[in-house]
Structure 1
Amino acid sequence: MREISYPLSGSCQCGGVTYTLNEPPLMIVACHCRECQKLSTSAFSITAMVKPEAVVFSGEMSDWSRSSDSGNISAAKFCPTCGNRIYHYNPDDSSTLKLKPSNISDTRVINPTLHVWISEKQDWYQIPEGVKTFQKQPS
């Protein structure tokens, strides 16, 4: 398999928001919580944890947020035209962005190395052997 070359580009469905990811994600996480199931309309949501300085965004984005079970705020940026989520973040922790990588040019980067909230996982989905898991959110 060929190596993934950076930078990678990404965009929402309508192309109103674009971005460039200049380096590999810190990790790829699959979250199985009910809120992520709603977000993804699937069994889990995939997030690429990236350094804020590793990604450059262009285009207008809207905001949305909610409280999480931990008491933290889960905030999101999304395209106001097509509604695609671009990234999530914690306003109290600027060390990482939670990029939604399904809209990236080379989707081979989407290979979860960590599965969280498996206590809410759909029974029909089998997590691959050897992948690290957490019943809820790791501390």
Structure 2
Amino acid sequence: MIRNGRCACGKLTVSIDAEPVGTRQCWCRQCQQIAAGGPSHNAIFPSEAVSFTGPLASSSWTAASGNTLTHWFCPECGTQAYAQSSARPHLKTVRFGMIDEPHGLKPEVAIWTEEAPAWARIDPSLEQYPQQPPAPAPKD
């Protein structure tokens, strides 16, 4: 299935030609900051399956995992596009909000749950990790 998407202003587009190797809801403090206090919702794809057209800006920092995390976004409207970890350059973590609906994706795992605020409601049916989980295994 090919998925397409765009940022809020439409100047940045994405085309994804693969199924995700995993989907996650992330409660780390950095994701809470970029997601206005809640978690980020992400689909992880092989890097070569994801292509962007249009302007991209980035910022990087050392994540709680100890890896350098680079977030890519539209410099015009600020829409978060994807993230990439120095530990996993073969993967791109695309934000659900960047992908056109209906994309059919939902979180399979909640991560960094120990950093979730006390008011957070985490679906108990999700596999949960208090911190960074292992890298997702490739799907057949």
TM-score by length of 2: 0.87
- The aligned counterpart of 1:11 is 6
Which of 27, 37, 41 pairs up with 1:46? 41
The count of aligned residue pairs is 134
The 1-side partners of 2:121 and 2:43 are apart by 21
Residue type of the partner of 2:88?
A: D
What secondary structure sits across from 1:94 in the alignment?
coil
Instruction: Give the superposition deviation at 1:122.
Output: 2.5
In the other structure, the counterpart of 2:126 is 131
Q: C-alpha root-mean-square deviation of aligned residues, in Å?
A: 1.6
- Alignment partner of 2:19 out of 24, 34, 44: 24
Q: Give SS of 2:90's match.
A: strand
For structure 2, the residue ranges without an aligned partner over 5 or more in a row are 135-140
Map of 1:1-139 to 2, 5 A cutoff? Answer: 6-139=1-134
Conserved in 2, the CA contact under 8 Å of 1:86 and 1:99?
yes
Task: Tell whether the 8 Å contact from 1:101 to 1:107 is kept in structure 2 after alignment.
Answer: no
Q: What's the counterpart of residue 3 of structure 1? A: none
Give the TM-score of the pair, scaled to structure 1: 0.87
Kept in 2: contact 1:46–1:110 (CA 8 A): no
Q: What is the CA deviation profile of residues 105-124 of structure 1, one whole-angstrom value per residue up to 9, with x for unaligned ones?
A: 12443310000111112333
